[in-house]
Amino acid sequence: MIFYHGSKEIINVPTVKGSNPENDYGSSFYLTKDIEAAKSWACRNNKVGVINKFMVKETTYKRLKILDLTDKTKYSVLNWLAILLKFRKVSTEFKKNNKIIFEWIDKYYIDVNDFDIVIGYRADDAYFRFPISFINGEISLEDLEEAYELGDLGIQYAFMSKRAIKSLEFLESIKCESTYIGTYFNVVVKGSNSFNEILSKPKDLNKKYILDLMREDNEH
């Protein structure tokens, strides 16, 4: 199995050290299977970055404990959202004003520290407005899910544990083409346009908004 990590520098010895604890799933080593997404990320600061290519033996991968948040047979977007809100920075005032909602969402939280790898959507700053608008009751659960499934951010693999990181075998580092400078900005623009488009739509009574979901829970 091949994974890529876009960066400004060569990383031949992966580690969670230096990883931002406010990333989507906390401190971990983030990878993708999409080389195009990795190149875009590597050149996001208007400089030519590199792609660090890794391999994990399939037999080893299957022995790791994996939380796949994209598996709809086991998890919902609410599980993903609860995890995201644990790590992503949200203002104290916003949490205070939505205390009841945050307490309700917390019921869907899954402790990522119990897993070697977490697979899920990438939120990123350009798309983080979607979860906030969902909490505010401005967009539906269906809109939230669609924004991430059809968005350009893709799926990320967070290697959480030492065991998972140890399974990674460094193959090579590839310098990105200069044409990838600015492509990440295009993703940001697309995210902003999608957000404005969804927000401008009239509310749909056939869709479920956060208060609808909370009422359903209380009824059960």
18 pLDDT band, cuts 50/70/90, is low
Q: Is 137 exposed, middle or buried (0-12, 13-18, 19+ CB in 10 A)?
A: middle
User: How many whole angstroms separate alpha carbon 39 and alpha carbon 5?
Assistant: 9
Using an 8 Å Cβ cutoff, are 118 and 112 in contact?
yes
State how far the Cα of 144 lies from the Cα of 142, in Å rounded to an integer.
Answer: 5
Percent over 90 (pLDDT), the chain: 65
Give the up-direction half-sphere exposure of residue 171: CA atoms within 13 A in the CB hemisphere.
13
Q: If you average pLDDT over every residue of the chain, what do you get?
A: 89
> Domain residues for 46?
2-219
DSSP helix/strand/coil, 2: strand
Over the stretch 135-167, which tens digit does the pLDDT of each residue have? 999 999 998 888 777 555 678 999 999 999 999
Domain count, the chain: 1
Q: What is the pLDDT of residues 99-113, one digit of tens each?
A: 999 999 999 999 999
Q: Token digits for 75?
A: 């998890």
- Predicted structure pTM score: 0.89
The CA-atom distances, in angstroms, between 146 and each of 49, 62, 97 are 30, 29, 27
The residues facing 170 across adjacent strands are 54
pLDDT band at residue 49 under the 50/70/90 scheme: very high
Q: What burial class does residue 170 get, using C-beta atoms within 10 Å of its C-beta: 0-12 exposed, 13-18 middle, 19+ buried?
A: middle
Amino acid letter for position 80: W
* pLDDT tens, position by position, 19-42: 778 888 888 999 999 999 899 999
